[in-house]
Structure formats: C-alpha cells, structure tokens
Amino acid sequence: MDNDKKWKLFWYLLILIGVVVVGRIINARATYEIRPEIKPTSEASAVVVKTASVASKPRLAQDSGQKLWFTPWSGRVYGRKEPIDDVDIELVVEKLIECESGGANIEVIDTNGKYSRGILQFQDSSFYGWAKLAGLSGVSPLQPRDARLVARWALKNGLASHWTCSMLAGIIQ
C-alpha cells in the first residue's frame, strides 16, 4: 500500500472515531430523572424520563400503562390561550410547580435576565400585573399560597402559555 492510501485511510478512521466519540459525549450528557406522578389521591408512582439537556423537551416514556406525570388528569391538551377547566386546575397548578421549581421556593435569574421567583417561577411584571387584575393586593410570588392564587387566576384566564413548562408538561399545545 502506498503512502497516499495509508494517509487517506488514516484520516477516514480518524474522522470515524471522532464521530463516534462526539455521539457518545452527546448521549452521556443525557440524564435520567425520577419524577413522581401527580394524582389527586394518596397513591403515587415514579416515572423515569430521559432528557437530553435542561433546555430540551422531555421525551415520552411508558409506565406500565399508567398516566405519565405530564398528562393532564382529564387527558385533555389545551390550546395556547384556552382557559383551563376547573376540573383540571389544581392538578395543572401542581404540574407547573413540579416542572418550574420542583416545589422549591426559589429565586433565580431567568434566561431573559429577570428574576423568576417562588414555586411557580413568576416574574415580577407577570405576578403583580395578574394579581392586580385578579383583585389581589399585598401578595408575593414567594408566598406559596399567593403564587397558587395568582396561578389559578392566570390559568382560568387562558394565560398558561406564559409558563414554558405548560408546553413541556403537555398541558397546552
């Protein structure tokens, strides 16, 4: 075999190895999370969901025929600006809390450079604007009770699309 063919073979193998290594790195970055299924009963099960990164959409997983954590209780998927039915409102609020903060009452700087606060990760302009429209005063996004009240009002008024998690959790299209 002459030197030109050896070098071509070397470069082809190097590229092939590079592609395989990059593929393994991407796959290794995927994480597995165990999330409890939210039901209106005391019964709970766990669902393993594989996500490629924090910013990507969770992939659907099968769980022995049981509902997954991101399926609304009624099984209905709402339109982007459609009000959430009273029958689903409490479960939808719980799903948003689980997705947004995992139930932790936290303050973080969001991707737009503004603070997102509380269990439902409200930004101040949304929270206080909606609280005013709902007729609420003296409320705070860091108070779980207040956050739930404002979230219920927002969901009943077709504002679910303001939470990215409403799409990730399959609540809206």
Assign residue 113 a region: left if phi > 0, alpha if psi is -120 to 50, beta otherwise?
left
Q: What is the 8-class DSSP label of residue 149?
A: H
Closest residue by Cα to residue 61 from 73, 50, 76: 50
Instruction: Name the average pLDDT for the chain.
Output: 74
Between 29 and 23, whose confidence is greater? 23
pTM for the model stands at 0.57
pLDDT beyond 90 at 84? no
SS3 31: strand
How far from chain centre, in Å, is Cα 20? 30
pLDDT per residue over 89-133, tens digit each?
Answer: 898 999 899 999 999 999 999 888 999 999 999 999 999 999 999
CA dihedral (35, 144, 54, 89) in degrees, to 10, reads: 70
Helices (H), the chain: 3-29, 86-101, 124-133, 144-156, 164-168
Q: Is the pLDDT of residue 136 over 90?
A: yes
- 152 vs 79, which has greater pLDDT? 152
Buried b (16+ CB within 10 A) or exposed e, 127-140: bbebbeebeeeebb
pLDDT score recorded for residue 40 = 42
27 in Cβ contact with 6 (< 8 Å): no
Q: Is the pLDDT of residue 140 over 80?
A: yes
Taking only the tens place, the pLDDT of each residue in 53-76 is 333 333 333 333 333 344 444 556
What are 116's strand-pairing partners? Answer: 108, 123
Lookup: tokens for 127:
């929270």
Higher per-residue pLDDT: 55 or 139: 139
Note the pLDDT of residue 7. 85
Residue 159 confidence (pLDDT) above 80? yes
